[in-house]
């Protein structure tokens, strides 16, 4: 058994354990469920902040019954990206409940409910405020509160993840104890489910309310502030670093070489952090400010690799234009169009790249080079930091670069793709030479 085989035997069980972990799978699938909504909202953010001054000025100046087109067009973004945590937490709760063998809809509702119980609501006014005098005489002047938009957006995601997992584990424990109301046969399933949920959800609510009350006695006053201060902010600071991105991509591409979808494995852990960083950039742009996080979801999707893992679009271009063997030439023709849209399975498994030591070096090296160059150009201001707009992962380069970072982003993408071609070239030419010799021998 050679080194590669020994390494594969050690690596595969670890990767399989990560890829099949019910918490990570639920996290990934919950994020995926919310992604269409975030993409739609991001497109409207892009429309209202398109990098053409004449366009944004026209939107701001044009009004309909006193409301600007800019404010009206921002509504879809407000009800999607600005409250993204609601959709994500419901998705995680639903998927984790499915993993635990309980009703997915009950899991989603329970996750959202417990999250809101822990949330610090914003007080609009109390009975002692002067605004009470403006209320109708027959109204009862109780304190009036509202849901804080900050916490239903990116800031509330991490505590939402904790709520989703914890609440469903508690629900399952209570349900398995048999503390449920069982309806007789013949009752419609939805009615029966609602009665089955009654006791478990009630007990989960009581437990979370006790936690909320206990936190009033702490310096943080509420669990949201505690988790954001102690957990989320440090994790974001680690994730928002060049070193973290390099380590993640190094691990992901080593896994790819053994036929494991490396970005799926690492993304389960890293993507929640990147999405939060992207949403903060998007919020800054929507408020007319400059984005602040270089590392984010768009940086990963649009500037680390082109054509999929290993930045294989560069490899396909090298195959298409510079190789001569029929085997590689034909594969290049078949795979180059999907490669422009980020689909690279044909070349990963068809060339193959998997378990191919000749291509291992450029396959790992090029994404790391792309990351370092992109980070430096954005850090020094040569290319604008991505605006946080979430684009479909199939958006081709040049277009995606322009939408996320202006014309400078498009130029950077072209430069990196061409650089990748020249790095891949000597390695693929060596394989091409072998195939040519085989081709001539078989004539």
Both 196 and 342 in one domain: the answer is no
Within a domain: 244: yes
pLDDT confidence band for 237 (50 / 70 / 90): confident
Main-chain phi, psi angles of 396, to 5 degrees: -65, 155
Q: Is residue 160 part of a domain?
A: yes
Phi, psi for 290 (deg, rounded to 5): -80, 140
Rg of the chain taking only CA atoms, in angstroms = 26
Are 296 and 418 found together in one domain? Answer: yes
With a cut of 80, say whether residue 137 has pLDDT above it.
no
Of the listed ranges 8-17, 225-234, 296-305, the least confidently predicted one is 8-17
Q: What's the CA gap between 416 and 8, in Å, rounded?
A: 31
Share of the chain above pLDDT 90, in %: 37
Residue 258 and residue 200 share a domain: no
More confident residue, 7 or 25: 25
Same domain, 256 and 356: yes
Q: What is the mean pLDDT of residues 18-28?
A: 79
Q: Single out the residue in 234, 266, 281 at which a domain terminates.
A: 234
Same domain, yes or no, for 197 and 251?
Answer: no
- The token duo for 53 is 């001054």
203-229: average pLDDT: 92
User: Which residue, among 361, 262, 360, 355, has the nearest Cα to 4 in the 3D structure?
Assistant: 355
186 is a domain residue:
yes
Is residue 7 assigned to a domain? no
Domain membership of residue 201 (yes or no) is yes
For residues 39 and 169, state if they share a domain: yes
Same domain, residue pair 214 and 269 = no
**Predicted pLDDT of residue 184:** 79
* Domain's final residue, options 186, 211, 234: 234
229 and 292, same domain (yes or no) = no
* Number of domains present in the structure of the chain: 2
Task: Evaluate whether residue 5 is within a structural domain.
Answer: no
Please give the average per-residue pLDDT across 177-181, as a whole number: 87
Examine the domain organization and report whether 357 and 410 are in the same domain.
Answer: yes
Domain identity same for 207 and 126: yes
**pTM, 2 dp:** 0.75
Domain of 340, in residue numbers: 240-441
**389 is written with which tokens?**
């707009």
Query: Per-residue confidence at 150, pLDDT binned at 50, 70, 90?
Result: confident
247 and 210 share one domain: no
- Residue 1 domain flag: no
Say yes or no to pLDDT of 87 above 70.
yes
Q: Is 157 inside any structural domain?
A: yes
- Report which listed range, 236-250, 254-268, 412-426, is most confident: 412-426
Q: Which of 203, 234, 265 is the last residue of a domain?
A: 234
216 with 282, same domain: the answer is no
């Amino acid at each position: 058994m050679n080194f590669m085989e020994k390494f594969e035997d050690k690596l595969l069980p670890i990767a399989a354990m990560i890829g099949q972990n019910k918490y990570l799978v639920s996290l990934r699938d919950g994020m995926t469920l919310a992604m269409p909504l975030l993409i739609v909202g991001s497109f409207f953010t892009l429309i209202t902040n398109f990098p053409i001054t004449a366009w944004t000025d026209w939107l701001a100046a044009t009004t309909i019954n006193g409301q600007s087109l800019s404010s009206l067009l921002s509504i879809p973004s407000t009800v999607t990206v600005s409250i993204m945590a609601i959709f994500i937490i419901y998705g995680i709760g639903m998927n984790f409940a499915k993993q635990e063998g309980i009703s997915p809809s009950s899991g989603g509702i329970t996750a959202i409910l417990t999250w809101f119980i822990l949330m610090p609501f914003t007080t609009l006014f109390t009975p002692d405020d002067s605004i009470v005098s403006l209320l109708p005489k027959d109204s009862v002047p109780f304190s009036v509160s509202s849901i804080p938009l900050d916490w239903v957006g990116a800031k509330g995601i991490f505590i939402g993840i904790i709520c989703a997992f914890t609440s469903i584990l508690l629900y399952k424990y209570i349900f398995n104890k048999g503390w449920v109301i069982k309806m007789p046969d013949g009752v419609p399933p939805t009615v029966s489910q609602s009665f089955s949920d009654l006791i478990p959800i009630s007990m989960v609510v009581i437990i979370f309310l006790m936690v909320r009350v206990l936190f009033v006695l702490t310096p943080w006053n509420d669990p949201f502030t505690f988790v954001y201060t102690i957990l989320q902010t440090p994790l974001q600071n680690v994730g928002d670093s060049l070193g973290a991105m390099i380590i993640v991509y190094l691990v992901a591409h080593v896994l790819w070489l053994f036929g494991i979808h490396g970005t799926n494995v690492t993304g389960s852990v890293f993507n929640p952090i990147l999405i939060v960083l992207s949403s903060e950039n998007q919020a800054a742009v929507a408020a007319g400010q400059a984005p602040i996080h270089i590392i984010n979801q768009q940086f990963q999707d649009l500037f680390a690799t082109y054509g999929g893992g290993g930045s294989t679009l560069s490899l396909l271009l090298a195959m298409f234009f510079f190789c001569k063997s029929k085997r590689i030439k034909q594969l290049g023709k078949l795979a180059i169009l999907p490669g422009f849209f980020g689909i690279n399975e044909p070349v990963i498994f068809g060339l193959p790249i998997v378990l191919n030591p000749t291509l291992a070096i450029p396959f790992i090296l090029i994404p790391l080079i792309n990351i370092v160059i992109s980070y430096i150009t954005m850090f020094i201001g040569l290319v604008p930091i991505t605006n946080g707009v979430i684009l479909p992962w199939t958006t081709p380069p040049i277009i995606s670069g322009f939408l996320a970072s202006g014309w400078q982003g498009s130029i950077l993408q072209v430069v990196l793709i061409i650089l990748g071609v020249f790095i891949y070239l000597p390695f693929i030419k060596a394989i091409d030479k072998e195939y040519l010799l085989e081709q001539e021998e078989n004539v």
